[in-house]
Structure 1
């Protein structure tokens, strides 16, 4: 069995005029959300041994805010920046860990989550996958190359507002 933690980056800062989208950092709320998500992952026992992260500044800052220890094998992947579901699953097929955290962006990550799970969680925010939304799902397969659409069994789904108020 393999576990995927699929996370959209935390809330980014739009006040950096002239900053390219790829280079936009998290805002204060995003930094708090990333920390809370890290606490939640540890409390639930969802600790990844591999991370596949978009190369964008806000995804990297989200990852750093999670404070995952011990530090998992991490790859920052340019192809995950604003990736479509096809690119995301191709990237996931390259994973080696037993519990993989993938951090990306909407709209692709929302569609990817919907395509991965056999049935969506009963949660009003799953359909729009807001910033910081995190899906945890298991796949009853022997390798990531075997993962396909509608195979994931949802274990958890949470959004930062449930953790930070």
Structure 2
């Protein structure tokens, strides 16, 4: 939970997806074994740090839905509002910002895709994490960034404070 006057974004790229079935459309690709493990680890990490989303805005693609299902399987105390947003599938950074501005809860998790999510993540904080992989935003990468605002409509790029950055698929 975030204190009054703050908003927290947990921005996650979906975990590693499978490429072994060439007949599947990109939208329908599931997670592979490593991705399923990473998504579960992400849920455990979030629970251990108290990162409890009150609202989840997720791309409807199979791999993003499966990422959320694995994260939600961790011992999170809050059961968030869950919204699937068609525009998050391969969204541009501006689209992601517009979607974020429609959020209603103080702590929001967005689950999306590259290449847009990497650029969006880099635009949010005043100072980006020093991690050399941050700008690539690999699969299962998660940025936790706080904003000193009362409403998501007021969020602006460059005004966030990084609270955490973790990447679990980059092994």
The TM-score with structure 2 as length reference comes to 0.93
Deviation by residue 1:94-143 (Cα, 9 ceiling, x = unmatched): 00111000000001000000111111011111010000000000000110
Gaps in structure 1 of 5+ consecutive residues: none
Corresponding residue pairs, total = 163
Which residue of structure 2 lines up, in the alignment, with residue 47 of structure 1?
Answer: 52
Q: Distance in 1 between matches of 2:145 and 2:70?
A: 22
**Shift of residue 69, structure 1, vs aligned partner:** 4.4
> In the alignment, is residue 17 of structure 1 matched against residue 25 of structure 2?
no
d(CA) in 1 for partners of 2:78, 2:159: 29
Q: What's the counterpart of residue 85 of structure 2?
A: 77
Q: What is the CA deviation profile of residues 53-112 of structure 1, one whole-angstrom value per residue up to 9, with x for unaligned ones?
A: 001000000000002443210001110000000100000000011100000000100000
Aligned to 2:107: 99
Structure 2 Cα separation of the partners of residues 137 and 115 of structure 1? 11
Contact 2:146–2:163, Cα closer than 8 Å, also in 1? yes
User: Any idea what SS the aligned residue of 2:97 has?
Assistant: helix
Q: How does 1:122-161 map to 2 (within 5 A)?
A: 122-161=130-169
Deviation, 1:48, is: 0.3
Determine the C-alpha separation between the residues in 1 that align with 2:163 and 2:128: 10
SS, match of residue 6 in structure 1: strand
Structure 2 residues without counterparts, runs of 5 or longer: 1-5
Q: CA deviation at 1:11?
A: 0.1
Cα contact 2:140–2:169 (8 A) shared by 1 = no
> What corresponds to 1:64 in structure 2?
69
